[in-house]
Structure 1
Amino acid sequence: MNSPSSAAASMMRELRAEVRQHLRSGRVIVAVDGTPGSGQAEAADALAAAFVEDGATVLRASASDFVEPGTTGHLDPDQLRRLLIEPFRAGSPSFSLAPTGEPATAPSDAVLIVDGDYLLGRDLRGMWNWSVWLEVHPTAAFARLAREGRGDADPAAESNASLRDAAAAYRRASNPSAAASALIENTDPDSPTRIFGDFC
């Protein structure tokens, strides 16, 4: 896990304070969402570091670990709910951060931060106590996807058509930016900025 820049760390401390303003006790589940290439994992790691800095017990999970067998990364929401979200929310002493991982434990006031694509879909958004939506310019998003071997660095490349179509369909169907607790412009992850007001 790379350490966040000072600007990113400052931003995440602000988000941590906002979470704590509304959720002072008990287990808390935070989602960090964005279309593919938005840098959700890195942002979630930075937010986790801010909570750890404040003395919280923090657990990290990635929705990409909960995929339907035989698919190319399609999230299995039932598995995510059954193995992780529901037992964690219920205060169970044991839950799974990944289907193949060892059972995890946490105190009654732990924070769980989950990163992934499409976490604020209408069928998933009820899982989270608080959420972040990341906005990223397509050039930066596809450059990140290319580095991860998930796409072409050229946003207009024909090979990226399915990614572009899926992201556009997600925005139309779910309006995730309107559902998020906080909106962050994350084109430069070392210098993220908060988006306020009505953003589409």
Structure 2
Amino acid sequence: MSDVWAGIAGEFLHLYPRGCRLLAVAGADADRSSRAADDLAAALRDAGQQVRRAHSADGDEQTLRDDVVSPFRTAQEPEVLVVSGPGILLATTARGMWNFAVWQLAGDEPPHTVANAIVDVTDPDAPTRRFADYCAAPASWGA
């Protein structure tokens, strides 16, 4: 297990220690976000959490709300739902679904300015955490 995923899991659990919690792992490549979300879910399980996983290949917000998020919230179980998918998971109208968001990127892909954590998964076996200086980011990044 990567120290990056363990660190993000610890940060998330510090901020959201209990209850029904939702975490999005998004990026320019929806398939790549699935691997990153699986690794983060494993780190959360290693930290003693009950975790559910979901993936949305297209990021359709209404389908996610109706078929994934609403049933999860209704169940009221003390679990973490980790949803992976494309960048649209962090669209303006969808942001409110998540307690925490991770943006995964590779190489020189731009970060998303609303993500709580940014992880470079150019080498998925050795991810690195990035800390972006949003004062220097173009206004279009993450818009």
Q: Which residue of 2 aligns with 1:183?
A: 118
RMSD value over aligned CA atoms?
2.1
Q: Distance in 1 between matches of 2:67 and 2:91?
A: 19
* Structure of higher CA gyration radius: 1
Higher strand share: 2
Instruction: Please report the TM-score for the alignment, with normalisation by the length of structure 1.
Output: 0.61
Give deviations 1:20-56, integer Å, cap 9, x for gaps: 1110111111100100267211110011111111221
Q: Which residue of 2 aligns with 1:12?
A: 5
Shift of 1:86: 2.1
Q: Is the 8 A contact 2:9 2:43 kept in 1?
A: yes
Consecutive aligned runs of 4 or more in structure 1 exceeding 4 Å deviation: none
Q: Which residue of 2 aligns with 1:130?
A: 100
Q: Distance in 2 between matches of 1:52 and 1:76?
A: 27
The answer to whether residue 36 in structure 2 is matched with residue 43 in structure 1 is yes
Give deviations 1:4-32, integer Å, cap 9, x for gaps: xx4xx211110011001110111111100
Aligned residues: 134
Alignment counterpart, residue 90 of structure 2, candidates 95, 111, 120: 120
1:93-108 alignment runs, 5 A limit: 93=75, 108=77
Q: Percent identity among equivalent residues?
A: 35
Instruction: Please report the TM-score for the alignment, with normalisation by the length of structure 2.
Output: 0.83
Q: Which residue of 2 aligns with 1:81?
A: 65
Q: Is the 8 A contact 2:24 2:83 kept in 1?
A: yes
Q: Which residue of 1 aligns with 2:141?
A: none
Q: Is the 8 A contact 1:38 1:187 kept in 2?
A: no
